[in-house]
Amino acid sequence: MKEPHLADVADYLFMSESQLSKLMSRNNSDLFKEVMQICISNLLFGKTI
């Protein structure tokens, strides 16, 4: 399974890439990582929220 590009994840979340990278660097909580993981796996498997 390949890692999605930050830009793809950002598009999926309707955010700009810079917003997403700021959020990721600022927020290192487990909950945030878990939410990102769900978003990424949904993106990879083509599911919608």
Please report whether residue 49 resides in a domain: no
Please report whether residue 14 resides in a domain: yes
Please report whether residue 39 resides in a domain: yes
Q: CA–CA separation, 1 vs 44, rounded Å?
A: 8
Please report whether residue 1 resides in a domain: no
Please report whether residue 18 resides in a domain: yes
Please report whether residue 13 resides in a domain: yes
Q: CA–CA separation, 17 vs 31, rounded Å?
A: 20
Q: What is the pTM of this model?
A: 0.35
What six digits make up the tokens of 21? 């990278």
**11 phi, psi to nearest 5 deg:** -60, -45
Q: Can you give the residue range of the structural domain that contains 19?
A: 6-44
| pLDDT values of the chain reduced to their tens digit, one per residue, 49 residues | 566 677 777 777 777 777 777 777 665 666 677 777 877 777 777 765 4
User: What is the pLDDT at residue 22?
Assistant: 76
Q: CA–CA separation, 41 vs 1, rounded Å?
A: 10
Give the burial class of 9: count Cβ atoms within 10 A of its Cβ; 0-12 exposed, 13-18 middle, 19 or more buried.
buried
Domain count within the chain: 1
